[in-house]
Amino acid sequence: MKDWERAVIVKLVVQVKVIPDAGQASALERTLPAINEAANRVSAVGFEHFGLKASIRELRKLCYGELRAGGFGAQAAQHIIKRVADACSALRANIRAGNLGPEGSKRRRKAESKAVTFRTDAAHTYDDRCLSWNYDAQTVSIWTLDGRVKNVRFACSQPRHDLGRGQPSGPQARPVPALAGP
């Protein structure tokens, strides 16, 4: 393969501000704490059965059905399970690296003795199956426990907006209408 034939994959992370109306806001505000509460339940179940050695596959067998029955979409349930497994894996790596002290230290014993927990306002992963963007209207459709909330306005700077669209930013970029409203 020649150098010019290689494909380069770049993952872009663009920060946007979501501007929901009152009805949309209540659905969004209810969803994040519920996701984190579910992650805590999955973590507790995983810790009870496997300690800190739970894998995605094992957690899926134990918890996926319960998450789906609790109103979580398939993709949201998968993200919750993966998030818990990744947190356990990161904690195990920190313990192994000695970042929580030597074996037998108070800090290390405390970390090893309980399940990983998540704050009620901790961030959650959304991907293209949970989010869909309408760049021209500057709206987003987001999965929530109340169903998909559509036409949620968002704002971001022009270069970030262009990055999200896959368009160049700068003087040659095509102008995008400004967000109207307050």
Long-range CB contacts (< 8 A, 24+ apart) of 129-133? Answer: 129/75, 130/73, 130/75, 130/76, 130/79, 133/164
Provide the 3-class DSSP secondary structure of residue 132. strand
pLDDT in tens, 74-133: 999 999 999 999 999 999 999 999 999 999 999 999 999 999 999 999 988 888 888 898
Q: Distance between CA 81 and CA 60 in Å, rounded?
A: 7
- Predicted local distance difference test score (pLDDT) of residue 8: 75
Residues across the chain: 182
Residue type, 30: R
pLDDT at 179 over 70: no
pLDDT at 42 over 80: yes
- Predicted local distance difference test score (pLDDT) of residue 178: 38
Helices (H), the chain: 22-50, 56-69, 74-96, 106-112, 158-165
Lowest mean pLDDT among 34-38, 62-66, 113-117, 167-171: 167-171
pTM of the model: 0.77
End-to-end Cα, the chain, rounded Å: 53
pLDDT at 136 over 90: no
Long-range CB contacts (< 8 A, 24+ apart) of 58-64? Answer: 59/84, 59/85
pLDDT at 172 over 70: no
- Predicted local distance difference test score (pLDDT) of residue 128: 84
